[in-house]
Structure 1
Amino acid sequence: MKITDAYVNITSPGRNFVTLKIVTDEGIYGLGDGTLNGRELAVAAYLTEHVIPCLIGRDPFQTEDIWQYLYRGAYWRRGPVTMSAIAAVDVALWDIKGKALQTPIYNLLGGRSRESVMVYCHAFGKDVGAALEDVAKHKEMGYRAIRVQSGVPGLKSTYGVGKVAGHYEPAERGLPTEYEWETEAYLRSVPPLFSKMRETFGEELHLLHDCHHRLTPIEAARLGKELEPFHLFWIEDPTPAELQEGFRLIRQHTTTPLAVGEVFNSLWDAHELIRNQWIDYVRATVVHAGGLTHLKKLADFAALYHVKTGCHGATDLSPVSMAAALHFGLAVHNFGIQEHMPHSEETDAVFPHQYSYQDGYMHPGDKPGLGVDLDEKLAAHYEYQRAYLPVNRKQDGTLTDW
């Protein structure tokens, strides 16, 4: 079997997605997601101009060698654009391999380690009362783990809180929106939020919270310590992780579990965090961390240090990546939890898929390969529209982490 063609599809059914399709001489094709939120065209150009010409004529079963060729052979390693492009190729090749062997990808990753994959959803509100209502709604939908975000008193907008009830999509068309931020107001608001959550819903519901890189290590340590009585499943991205050693300070002061890594693109981004057991969950995702080939290496390394996976799963990952994450989560032994933000009806129609949700768990389905397809005719109706994630400024105007 040889690769005879490959091309990129860019579509925007409510938001932008970049999909790579690799075709073989036996008529089998595979799909890979190369979406990089706010930088989609950079990945598309990298694939079209630099990667695809190197794929033609290759054996699609050689996933490891092709991965190494695209990573080591380019000389310029890592980075979100490069690794998203490599991921698109890698996942498409795994899709081809599964279809050719007539088996779902999870069987190629070692088979099932569990019956289904526990997922967490997003609940939010402009204030504590609205957040309580949204959590109750998602609990009724069967979710056993819920990420909770609430508006911060005195701030016009807050990360994780949508403008429309029940819907949160951070990327906005046009130039970047500017949000405002005040750390002390935020730190005062979060412990009472989770006190009320536990008072209302008891201890059985898994509760999560995302700090979105906005705190210094000592601020994150304070928050983690104050949240200990409420037994959170984790606090996510408490501080930017470029300084991996910063997590040592947080770990010294709190037993609240720590999760980080949705912006990671290689094992090296998490090497010290994992090796020193400064985190409990690594959130690197299949599309931004080089595909299934590299993500499996990261998970195996993490397993040595009792660190579990908690892969990013927001709507900036297409159903192609969601399916890949579910195959991965079903197979990998040290799986922890999978993020689940349901896509829009338009997106689901463009990407028909086999995966399903029921009672707080998801399953990738048993169709050979990924179990996801791309309706190219329908995709053509949704033209690319420039969109950006917001930027964030403190109340004095200083640009800070979004």
Structure 2
Amino acid sequence: MRIRSAEVLVASPSRNFVTLRLTTEDGIVGLGDATLNGRELAVASYLRDHVAPLLIGRDAHRIEDTWQFLYRSAYWRRGPVTMSAIAAVDMALWDIKGKLTGLPVYQLLGGASRTGALVYAHASGADLDDLADSVHARIEEGYKAIRLQVAIPGMGGGYGISSGRASGGRYTYEPAKRAGLHVEEGWDSSRYLRYLPTMFEWARAEFGPEVMLLHDAHHRLTPVQAARLAKDLEPYDLFWLEDITPVENQESLRLVRQHSTTPLAIGEVLNSVWDFRTLVQEQLIDYVRASVTHSGGITHLKRIFEFAGQYQIRSGSHGPTDISPVGMAAALHLDLAIHNFGIQEHMAHDRLTDEVFRTGFSWHDGAMHPGDAPGLGVEYDDDAAARFPYEPAYLPTARLVDGTVHDW
């Protein structure tokens, strides 16, 4: 079963997506997600100019061999561009194999370990009243786990704040800006550290103990600040505290662990099992936040999760709107199959995105299922995609009150 063609598809239905489409000599089509927010064309070029020519004529059955070929033969290993490109190929090959066998991918991974994947939604607000409206909307939609983000008084904003409702009535948060190349946001860690515990105190009083609450600090705190916040939030029983400090300095999480029992989730900017070695072996985190799109696809993310599972660390796959429905489907199939599943991030895509990517996702009691169609269960509508050409978009810059560029 040889690969006949490899097409790189770039479209922008509300935001930019890069999709790889592989077609076999028998006409079987497989899709893979290669979207890297703010650097989409880098991966598109990597695939189109360097990977696609190598795929023509290869045996589509040989998923593991192809993964090792793309990872090892280029010599330049790891990194988000390389691993996103490999991920797209890997997803597409799993999609093809599922269609050839007539089975959904999760069945090929060993079958379902659960009936659905618990997902968490995002809620945000310019103030507590606004946040309350957002949380109530998520609860009415059926979510049992919700990430809370709120603008910090006196700071003029904060990470993860929704810009309002998009088409379909959904609350949306899309950080990549199309208005210009130099959008900037202010940040003040001292104000944030003073205010956030009061927000969670309010949230527990407002929504009770049963709703699972999460929060993302987005790498913006020093190790000492991170330890302080994790300790201050202990009374409010968070499901997890995410990206509490920059993950490049993994040893710094020892300090956080020494001072708090708040569960920690980290990993969305990491790309390989080797990146997680210290975090996992020293049990410095509770949830692996890697995404199937940026971590080498289903084949490699499964390795990362299995490695973490040896240390009682669970999965918590990254699932923002810059992971396309193809990437989301791949994550859900993996979520169903692995033993140490924890939770899946779910940012609902815009209606325009749903016109381009047709899925069979189902929803029940706070959990999602990818469907039982053969393969990944996602179809790509070329006619719909043609209405949405690529538009340059860039993530914003965070600056401290004195103008210093800070971690975004």
Which category describes the TM-score, using the shorter chain as reference length? Answer: over 0.9
The correspondence for 2:172, drawn from 167, 187, 196, is 167
Aligned match of 2:286: 280
Letter in 1 for 2:284: W
The correspondence for 1:219, drawn from 220, 225, 231, is 225
Q: Are the aligned partners of 1:111 and 1:331 in contact in 2 as well (CA < 8 Å)? A: yes
**CA-CA distance at 1:110 after TM superposition:** 1.2
1:299 partnered with 2:292: no
Gaps of 5+ in 2: 166-170
Aligned match of 2:196: 190
Q: Are the aligned partners of 1:265 and 1:290 in contact in 2 as well (CA < 8 Å)? A: yes
Q: Are the aligned partners of 1:266 and 1:290 in contact in 2 as well (CA < 8 Å)? A: yes
Q: Map 1:260-339 onto structure 2 (within 5 A).
A: 260-339=266-345
Letter in 2 for 1:81: V
Letter in 2 for 1:55: L
Aligned match of 1:240: 246
In 2, the alpha carbon distance for the partners of 1:66 and 1:45 equals 19
**CA-CA distance at 1:298 after TM superposition:** 0.4
In 1, the alpha carbon distance for the partners of 2:382 and 2:284 equals 44
**CA-CA distance at 1:176 after TM superposition:** 3.5
In 2, the alpha carbon distance for the partners of 1:216 and 1:2 equals 51
Letter in 2 for 1:188: R
In 2, the alpha carbon distance for the partners of 1:34 and 1:54 equals 17
Aligned match of 1:71: 71
1:218-272 Cα offsets, whole Å, 9 max, x none, are 1011001000000000000001101111111111110000000111111122110
In 1, the alpha carbon distance for the partners of 2:150 and 2:365 equals 24
Letter in 2 for 1:69: F
Q: Are the aligned partners of 1:98 and 1:105 in contact in 2 as well (CA < 8 Å)? A: yes
Aligned match of 1:123: 123
Q: Are the aligned partners of 1:242 and 1:269 in contact in 2 as well (CA < 8 Å)? A: no
Q: Map 1:18-33 onto structure 2 (within 5 A).
A: 18-33=18-33
3-state SS of the aligned residue for 1:325? helix
1:71-94 Cα offsets, whole Å, 9 max, x none, are 011000001000000000000000
In 2, the alpha carbon distance for the partners of 1:197 and 1:77 equals 44
**CA-CA distance at 1:161 after TM superposition:** 0.7
1:53 partnered with 2:34: no
Q: Are the aligned partners of 1:211 and 1:236 in contact in 2 as well (CA < 8 Å)? A: yes
- Cα distance change of structure 1 residues 269 and 176 upon mapping to structure 2, 3 Å threshold: farther
3-state SS of the aligned residue for 1:373? strand
In 2, the alpha carbon distance for the partners of 1:163 and 1:20 equals 30
In 2, the alpha carbon distance for the partners of 1:163 and 1:155 equals 17
3-state SS of the aligned residue for 1:139? helix
Aligned match of 1:199: 205
In 2, the alpha carbon distance for the partners of 1:113 and 1:313 equals 20
Q: Are the aligned partners of 1:244 and 1:270 in contact in 2 as well (CA < 8 Å)? A: no
**CA-CA distance at 1:167 after TM superposition:** 2.0
**CA-CA distance at 1:101 after TM superposition:** 0.5
Letter in 2 for 1:341: M
3-state SS of the aligned residue for 1:172? coil
Q: Are the aligned partners of 1:141 and 1:359 in contact in 2 as well (CA < 8 Å)? A: no
Aligned match of 1:147: 147
Q: Map 1:69-148 onto structure 2 (within 5 A).
A: 69-148=69-148
Letter in 1 for 2:356: V
* Identical amino acids, percent of aligned pairs: 59
In 2, the alpha carbon distance for the partners of 1:149 and 1:329 equals 25
**CA-CA distance at 1:360 after TM superposition:** 1.1
Q: Map 1:330-369 onto structure 2 (within 5 A).
A: 330-369=336-375
Aligned match of 1:395: 401
3-state SS of the aligned residue for 2:58? coil
1:110-146 Cα offsets, whole Å, 9 max, x none, are 1100000100000011112221221122112111000
Letter in 2 for 1:24: T
In 2, the alpha carbon distance for the partners of 1:388 and 1:117 equals 31
1:42 partnered with 2:42: yes
In 1, the alpha carbon distance for the partners of 2:303 and 2:263 equals 23
In 2, the alpha carbon distance for the partners of 1:26 and 1:399 equals 52
3-state SS of the aligned residue for 1:333? coil
Letter in 2 for 1:348: D
In 1, the alpha carbon distance for the partners of 2:354 and 2:300 equals 27
**CA-CA distance at 1:157 after TM superposition:** 2.0
1:259 partnered with 2:265: yes
Gaps of 5+ in 1: none
In 1, the alpha carbon distance for the partners of 2:400 and 2:394 equals 19
- Length, aligned pairs only: 402
In 2, the alpha carbon distance for the partners of 1:366 and 1:160 equals 33
